[in-house]
Structure 1
Amino acid sequence: MAVREPNDQPQDRDEDRPLSIAVKFREIGHKPPSALRGIEGLLERTRHSSEPLKLRPLFESSSRGRLDELVERARRNDPAYEPTDFNFWTQVTCPEDIEAEGLAQAIRQLKEVETAYVMRPLPPPLVNPLDDPRSTNQGYLDTAPNGINARHAWAFAGGDGAGIGFVDLEQGWNLNHEDLAAASVSLISGINKQYFSHGTSVLGEVLMVDNMLGGVGIAPAASGRVISQHRPSGYNTADAIVDAVANMAFGDVLLLEAQETDPVGGQYFWPVEIADANYDAIRLGSALGIVIVEAGCNGGYDLDAYTNLGGHQIFNRASAGFRDSGAIMVGAASSASPHVRLGFSNFGTRVDCYAWGENIDTTTTNSAGTDNTLYTTGFNGTSGASPIVVGAALIVQGMAEASLGYRFSPRELREVLRMDGTPSANPPADLIGVMPDLNAIITNGHLNLAPDPYLRDYVGDDGDPTSGMVSSSPDIIVRHAPVADPQAAYGAGSGTENDGNLSQVVETGHDHTLYVRLQNRGGSTAAPVDVDLYWSPPATLVTPNLWNFIGAVGLPTLPTGNVLTVSGPVTWPQAAIPGPGHYCFVAVAGSPLDPKPDPTAFITFDNFVTYVENNNNVAWRNFNVVAGPPSTDGPPGFHALPFLAPGAFDTSRRFALETIGRLPKGSRAILETPEWLAEALRPHPVRVQHDEKRRVARISLNPHGVQRIGEAILHAKSKAECRLLVSIPEEANRHGYEIAVRQLYKNREVGRVTWRFPGKAERQDGKDRGKA
């Protein structure tokens, strides 16, 4: 069905009659049944109809006899729950010849009445897995930021929702659809009456069977049931909610695929908890431990601005009148990333999560609910978004129960889904929360189920995202010859765990051996772990287009608990070493549940920088350099140290260059660059030296501290050939000294080259250790 806009108001239909009016008596001074008799007498004087009024309890389902017990259990389970007396709720059947809204308004004027509103049926809020032929269309299953990472979660115990109950509350379904029949979905209560295609699409998103038909549900192993708002005595959402939660277990998930009329202005397409009886029922359910997911609905309204009959902003979290039912409220966004709030979606601080609200591939049926083979690529609205969030909730509960032995409470789970997710394109304006990211939930402290192997970017790195130095890994080690027992020499208990100077300088003329050290801070063993090693030419920006493959090594297992574990040797043949002295080593690690990135897959440079900062399975250490004789093509008495200052691999971008000098007194340092780069970097003219081969500029540097040279736009894939010219007094070379050039992007370091000049003691020691 099409998404309805706020001004597209549905009209009463014959099958909707008779309508009922929900009435709540004031709890102070009026007690049923005397209040019932009083209200009936007052109503008789306000109407002109030959039909007698029919009054009966609002909550009259099979669960009614258990209401007192449910309320008491909710009170014990949730100390914040303020019990309501459901006996104060009744419903009045509106005679056919009476206008329902007018009668509800008259009832609200009575002193015995706290609230009254029409319960009007509305349409729902419309708008191996690879052997399922439509699975590739289900982008909402994919990795974040595109989808919710459901496919990743399926690899974990309980990640398919096994053992968790799911109930869909709406008005109709085709339970015999070919991709749903094997799910054995049953009806709890109510009448399977209408909007069959809608209900069938909702069930498909969550429960499509993993077979060779159609698609696959987000949580296909969950135990699915349905309950209808059409009760034997008429349309009654609140009664259906109470009957649903009475038949569910702690941690099960109830989806409210419904919307409501505003009791104040009569507008349609509001979340169901706008109606007080529905709110009471939802609050009871969440206090009982039932996770309730509520469609935010398709009115395009700012929920924060809404004021109810009592003058309270009940949806505005910043308002004193805010009331929290405990439900997870869902908005709708575009299917394309970055996800933009769709215009029809309600929004506000009350909305917790969003998901796709368009282009959803799922099951459907015909208007009679009898076609068992239909599918759609266009299910939409908050109706389409809410089942995606339900699927994420079922997966989290399933994994928690299977691996940890417990289920999250409704408020805990809501916080888990809200904390770890993909923001919308413009969060302050969209106000629809985040789209859950199951990979983030699995790997962080909420579940911590996945293995999380990592290499340190620097000594002291604990694997968290970093915006600091990313080029001084102590876990990439190069040696002139293999070590007899690398684990004993470099691993846990070796005494060298935090030594960043274990590498020897690279020399031409013989093979070298590389080792990689890894830790696993995740909640399970990583098995196996694969590591790829690369070298890059000396550059201040080590982008993947500069990487050259050295070799790969595997670790059969990497235990959890941050045990520093050393790989086997990787031989770097002398024939593959490109030149004496200056290198950057890059290591990329991964396991089946924490895959390593493909270095050719980064679409933009920003994407690459973000990945390096936010992912801990990529690390590098810069060059291991031995001081050579004075260069013959540089100024007399200077070491000439060549390097590249590259541009990004995707487009022209602005970078800054800085030097960090730690040289002794009397030293000199000069940066030699192409003339165009020097003039772009410096805010004032620089002296340009000409020779027969090239035009270069030489910029004097501070040898004893940090110097910001300037900023320049570097074109895509450019490689500015530069040299650092360094002169150190002979009398000062007893100790080792360093100087570095680093490249910054948006004031974040994205790479550096560091040269170390070993002193006499280091050279005599024969180790000549390099340092990043």
Structure 2
Amino acid sequence: MTELPRPRVVIRFHEGFDSRRHEDAVGYLKERDPATLKRVEAAFGAVRIEPVFSDKTREKLPKLQRLAVERDPSYNPSDLTTFHYVEAEKADDLLALAKMLSSSSAIRSADVEIPGPDPLVNDADDPLSANQTYLDAAPGGLDARYAWTFTGGDGAGQRVIDIEQGWTFNHEDLAGHGITQLNGVLVDGSRGHGTAVLGELCAIDNTLGCTGFAPNIASVFVASRNPSLANSIVDVLDNLDFGDVMLLETQDGVPGTVPTMLGPSEIVEAVREACRLATALGIVVVAAGGNGTNNGSAPATNLDTFTDAGGNLVLFRNNANPDFFDSGAIIVAAATSAAPHTRLVYSTHGQRIDCYGWGHNITTCSSDAAGATTIYRNNFGGTSGASPMVAGAALCVQGIYQAATGGRLSPRQMRQILSDPTFNTPRAPAEATAMGVMPNLRGIIDNVLGIVPDIYIRDHVADTGDPHNGAISASPDIILRPVAVADPQASFGEGSGTENSSSLGFEAEAGQDNFLYVRVRNRGGAAAANVQADLFWSPASTLVTPDLWTFVGSTNMPNVPTGNQLTVSNAVTWPSAAIPAPGHYCFVGLIGTVNDPAPGPADFLNFDNFRTFIRENNNVTWRNFNVVDNDPGDPEAQITLNWLVPGAPDKARRFALHLRLDLPRRAEVLLDLPLGILRALDAQVELVKIDHRRGRGIAKLPQIGDVRFGPGLIDAKARHDMKLLVRLNSKARGKHSIVARQLYEGKEEVGRLTWVFDPMRRKARDALDG
């Protein structure tokens, strides 16, 4: 019989840790920060440092993280091989050891991992089914019986993995699933716990005992948290597919509390990162919130006030809290079985909690240390009992959605659906603490899975909502007009004849109010209610990062029907006083609804996310436009085009800049640019003037041809202010253009500007092809 791993300190070296030094991490720390190591050894004796992730798991990480980025553009991969366990000879006070280590210049963070005990505290012919009232309708139960009336609602085609410590695989109500253990060491003393969890999840409809939420599930896997939970999570990921469910039936101690309080295992940073990798890969992670003191007494762990060894509020979900790290997991609290539901006194609570389930009076399978196969119980509970209910609801929802659409819901979508208070069961009005909602499968099926919407706004006229390599700044669905339109739907919507027009409006008239309209399609299986579009403008830039965005306004579309019909918003008024000076600019549009949420500007701040968003997220688009003067003045005057070449928002990165010119003979074109960008991006241009005081130069450009800068390193958040000075030949005919493109690593286009010159109008406007 193997017991829980002993409490340990988990450190995270700073990025750049040489992964080849795993076998001599003590030597690495001595080399990087000998003073801290000396203090630690003086206080705690000899130190041993070992990697959290095994050799086998570390080999998998690069492939898993590459796949995670492909599946979830908001995932920011970090080097998980920097996590290590630290043990010391005389480490009686692990929190003191963690705090001393966290002060090291070589160490990014330190946690105390205190593995907690198991977080305890046609179905009519199954004898105990009548006792399983958590399967009944809301508000008392989650209404799995209703879900079973839909194809896939019994878990058909779905897969689940339960990570804890022990099970009896050949229990009479589970044996037919052919349960497979993927890793770790089974703890005999935990067999009853794991068997009870699986009974709730997937006990078979077989005339014996009870029935689980997903009795016809396709595959059941298990994995032990021994010897390392973070390693176990990552190690099993290559056995799972997008949309599968992972249940973490574990809890960990809160360091520094007496008696030791218990909370979700993701209070440890390595576990949070492992869960984030899982959700980025599309795995729906459901985790027990933890049972406080584990003896039914108050107080319970408040995740809003939990601090790690560095004093950070890492689990306080609040937009104003920069320390919060969202693993993407669904965290579950425990409540009373009777409605209206109140939180059980020992259950974890806080804004980080997404859902709750029953915390007592649960009828399910059981076992003992010897592996009994015919035992049942009616008193299972705690967050251990609540979490399988939420995981079971996820399996029902995923099964119905997959059967209806052929697709699968992402972890973000699943969490949004299961935690939405509009159709799930709220906590009792008298309950003051945050504990989420209990999933109501009837409410979800009737209001969401009929089926979820998939709204999109096009990047170019041929965009169908899928990832593409086409234009990214020529959306036909942001329409700018100097005069309001009486009936936008009739003018621009389905059947208007303008569905695929890119020339409906891309110029704002200075000195007056202008009007913006947004067009949206819905290729999903359900109508989208209350679709919100947020519009921003940005100065002309070859990289339109969120720090350049200025909010214009929002509009709401009460209903966007299914069937890919083009739906048009009412006007967003852009007041005259808010319109920038004449010039070339860019609109950014974000659209979203409850079950197909828009990305937020913060999602774009990591540059790797940004690169994927501009190509693959169909809830965001760009549109180049001009502000023009009603009185353009002398048609022979020099045209000045201001624009920016920015750096990435997160760190210095290598970019190239390409200019392509197609101007008439005898046209004159100069480029007024900072000398700094010439130093950063070497270019073969002829400087006709240098002003060292201003730090700028003027280069003469050809009328026809390419001019290339770089690639070279541009600092994070740099803003290189560029000016094109163009004078056209008065006798020129036809349209001419200048294209400026910014390329990441000199290869991947991440933004462009196109100016088209129409000598008949003597002014520049944006190209329709982006």
Aligned to 1:253: 245
Which among 115, 131, 136 is matched to residue 125 of structure 2? 131
Q: Distance in 2 between matches of 1:29 and 1:90?
A: 11
Equivalent residue number for residue 275 of structure 2: 282
TM-superposition CA deviations, 1:428-480 (whole Å, max 9, x none)? 6142111111111111243349xxxxxxxxxxxxxxxxxxxxxxxxxxxxxxx
Quick check: 2:251–2:264 contact (8 Å CA) kept in 1?
yes
- Kept in 2, the 8 Å contact 1:16–1:120? The answer is no
Corresponding residue SS for 2:287: strand
The residue that corresponds to 2:438 in the other structure is 435
Letter matched to residue 217 of structure 1: G
Write the letter of the residue equivalent to 1:224.
V
Contact persistence 1:53–1:95 (CA under 8 A) = yes
1:240 matched to 2:229? The reply is no
> What residue is the counterpart of 1:26 in the other structure?
14
Q: Residue 381 of structure 1 aligns with which residue?
A: 382
Query: Does the aligned pair in 1 maintain the 2:112–2:268 contact within 8 Å?
Result: no
Give, in angstroms, the shift of residue 152 of structure 1: 1.0
Q: How far does residue 122 in structure 1 lie from its aligned partner after superposition?
A: 1.4
Q: Is structure 2 residue 75 aligned with structure 1 residue 81? A: yes
Counterpart of 1:334 in structure 2 is: 336
Please say which of residues 351-360 and 368-377 is displaced more in the overlay.
Answer: 368-377
Distance in 1 between the 2:3 and 2:45 partners?
19
SS in 1 for 2:253: coil
Tell me whether 1:167 sits opposite 2:161 in the alignment: yes
Structure 1 pair 427–320 and aligned structure 2 pair: CA distance change class (3 A): farther
Distance 2:42 2:252 in 1: 28
- Distance in 2 (alpha carbons) for counterparts of 1:264 and 1:246: 36
Q: Which residue of 2 aligns with 1:200?
A: 195
Relative to structure 1, the CA distance from residue 120 to residue 305 in structure 2 (aligned partners, 3 Å threshold; closer, same or farther) is closer
Q: Distance in 1 between matches of 2:243 and 2:430?
A: 29
CA distance in 2, matches of 1:395, 1:401: 10
Pair 340,16 (structure 1): closer, same or farther in 2 beyond 3 Å:
closer
Task: Tell me which residue corresponds to 1:306.
Answer: 306
Cα separation, partners in 2 of 1:427 and 1:405, compared to 1, 3 Å: farther
2:113 maps to a residue whose letter is M
Is the contact between residue 400 and residue 449 of structure 2 (CA under 8 Å) also seen in structure 1?
A: no
1:220 aligns to 2:222 (yes or no): no
**Could you report, residue by residue, the CA deviation over 1:100-125 in whole angstroms, capped at 9, with x for unpaired residues?**
55543443332211222343331021
Q: How do residues 595-634 of structure 1 correspond to structure 2 at under 5 angstroms? A: none
Question: Take 1:317 and 1:122, find their aligned partners in 2: how far apart are those partners?
Answer: 24
Is 1:270 the counterpart of 2:263? The answer is yes
Deviation at 1:307, TM superposition (A): 2.9
The higher radius of gyration belongs to 1
In structure 2, list runs of 5 or more residues that go unmatched: 293-299, 453-523, 527-561, 564-770
Provide the rounded CA distance (Å) in 1 between the counterparts of 2:46 and 2:309: 28
Shift, 1:129, TM fit:
0.5
Q: Quick one: structure 1 residues 360 and 144, their matched pair in 2 at CA, closer, same or farther if it must change by over 3 Å?
A: same
**For 1:273 and 1:191, how far apart are their aligned partners in 2?**
21
Aligned partners of 2:110 and 2:310 also within 8 Å = no
Where does residue 64 of structure 1 map in the other structure?
58
> Within 2, Cα distance between the matches of 1:18 and 1:82?
31
Q: 1:340 to 1:36 in 2, by over 3 A?
A: same
CA RMSD, Structure 1 to Structure 2 (Å): 2.9
Q: Distance in 1 between matches of 2:4 and 2:290?
A: 21
1:47 corresponds to 2:41 = yes
Contact 1:49 1:98 in 2 (8 A): no
Cα distance, 1:178 vs. partner?
A: 1.4
| Residues 326-375 of structure 1 deviation map (CA, whole Å, 9 limit, x = unaligned) | 11111111111111111111111211111111100001112x14211111
User: What is the number of residues matched between the two proteins?
Assistant: 437
SS in 2 for 1:388: helix
Q: Deviation digits for residues 302-337 of structure 1, max 9, x if unmatched?
A: 222223334432222224232211111111111111
Read off the aligned partner of 1:422 and give its amino acid letter: T
Q: Which residue of 2 aligns with 1:229?
A: 225
The alignment partner of 2:254 has SS state of coil
Q: Secondary structure at the match of 2:192?
A: helix
User: How far is 1:36 from its partner?
Assistant: 4.6
Matched position secondary structure for 2:59: helix
| 1:427–1:441 Cα change, 3 Å | farther
Written as runs of structure 1 = structure 2, the 5 A alignment for 1:519-668 is none
User: Alpha-carbon deviation of 1:263?
Assistant: 4.2
Q: 1:212 to 1:55 in 2, by over 3 A?
A: same
- Aligned positions of 1:418-567 closer than 5 A: 418-419=419-420, 420-426=423-429, 429-448=432-451
Q: 2:168 touches 2:371 (CA, 8 Å); kept in 1?
A: yes
User: One-letter code of the match for 2:165?
Assistant: Q
Conserved in 2, the CA contact under 8 Å of 1:249 and 1:290?
A: yes
Q: Write the distance in 2 (CA, Å) between the matches of 1:23 and 1:307.
A: 16
2:180 aligned partner, one-letter code:
S
- In the alignment, what sits opposite 2:315? 315
Instruction: Give the drift of 1:416.
Output: 0.9
CA contact under 8 A between 2:362 and 2:380: conserved in structure 1? yes
- Quote the residue 2:753 is aligned against: none
- Identify if the C-alpha distance between structure 1 residues 52 and 15 changes in structure 2 by more than 3 Å, giving closer, same or farther: farther
Match of 1:37 in 2: 27
Q: Per-residue CA shift, 1:480-516, capped at 9, x if unaligned?
A: xxxxxxxxxxxxxxxxxxxxxxxxxxxxxxxxxxxxx
The Cα offsets for residues 587-614 of structure 1, whole Å up to 9 and x where unpaired, read as: xxxxxxxxxxxxxxxxxxxxxxxxxxxx
Question: Matches of 1:369 and 1:87 in 2, distance apart?
Answer: 38
- Given candidates 349, 352, 360, the residue that maps to 1:350 is 352
Which residue in the other structure is 2:599 paired with? none
- How far the C-alpha of 1:49 sits from its partner, in A, is 11
State the distance in 1 between where 2:332 and 2:377 align.
Answer: 22
Residues 141-180 of structure 1: matches in 2 within 5 Å? 141-180=135-174
Separation of aligned partners in 2, 1:215 and 1:247 = 28
Write the distance in 2 (CA, Å) between the matches of 1:139 and 1:76: 41
Q: What is the alpha-carbon distance in structure 2 between the residues aligned to residue 324 and residue 198 of structure 1?
A: 28
SS of equivalent to 1:346: coil
The question of whether the paired residues in 1 share the 8 Å contact of 2:122 and 2:205 is answered with: yes
Per-residue deviation, 1:243 = 1.4
Answer whether contact 1:173 1:369 (CA < 8 A) is retained.
no
* Aligned twin of 1:297: 290
Query: Residue type matched to 2:232 in 1?
Result: A
5+ residue gaps, structure 1, are: 1-12, 450-521, 525-559, 562-772
* Alpha-carbon distance change, 311 to 92 in structure 1, aligned in 2, over 3 angstroms: closer
SS of corresponding position for 2:183? coil
- For residues 304 and 6 of structure 2, the distance between their equivalents in structure 1, rounded to whole angstroms, comes to 33
1:767 alignment counterpart: none
Letter in 1 for 2:411: P
- In 2, distance between residues paired with 1:16 and 1:216? 30
1:283-312 per-position Cα deviation (integer Å, ceiling 9, x unaligned): 111111000001111112222222333443
CA distance in 1, matches of 2:6, 2:340: 46
Task: Give 1:385's aligned amino acid.
Answer: A
Secondary structure at the aligned position of 1:63 is classed as helix
3-state SS of the aligned residue for 2:262?
A: coil
Structure 2 contact 5–228 (Cα < 8 Å) conserved: no
Q: Distance in 2 between matches of 1:348 and 1:283?
A: 20
**CA offset at residue 212 of structure 1?**
1.1
SS of the aligned residue for 1:166 comes to: strand
What is the one-letter code of the residue matched to 2:402? E
1:398 aligns with 2:399: yes
Cα distance between partner residues in 2 of 1:348 and 1:448: 31
